[in-house]
Amino acid sequence: MNQLTALISGLVFGFGLILSGMTNPAKVIGFLDLFGNWDPSLGFVMAGAIAVTFIAFQWLKKRQKTLLGESLHFPGTTHIDPRLMVGSLLFGIGWAYAGYCPGPAIVALGDGRYQLLFFLIPMILGMKAVDLASHYWKK
């Protein structure tokens, strides 16, 4: 049942990314181009997503279980450290430069945009490098 739920959730999420224009790099770059030809429409998508998620999280916090009855685990810390700030900065720079973030890039692969492998493979290698470095620095 969990795999079916994950599949359905992924399909709904991917459809939402396509419908909202997040898989179109020109739309994303237009949203991030505040001093040029700015397109605020993705801001409305984000605001809607935040509103729905906020309401859902409030309900789930009271419930303490998923819809399938499994326990929920929320982050235990709200501390903002340099590692988080650097990672956020790199994510934002990559998003602005490429017009893609990880989810929409994976969804766009399904549309036959295989040139995105030049984005996704270095992204995955970078994630693995950070993971390895984190284990090294913790020692």
Domain range spanning residue 13? 2-138
The whole-number pLDDT of residue 67 equals 83
Per-residue pLDDT tens digits for 79-120: 999 888 998 998 888 888 888 889 999 999 988 999 999 989
Task: Provide the 10 A C-beta neighbour count for residue 105.
Answer: 22
Cα distances (angstroms) measured from residue 80 to each of 20, 73, 133 = 30, 19, 19
pLDDT digits (tens, 9 = 90+) for 10-29: 999 999 999 998 999 999 89
The stretch 40-62 carries a mean pLDDT of 93
pLDDT value, residue 139: 66
User: What pTM value is reported for the model?
Assistant: 0.77
pLDDT value of residue 107: 93
Structurally, the chain folds into a number of domains equal to: 1
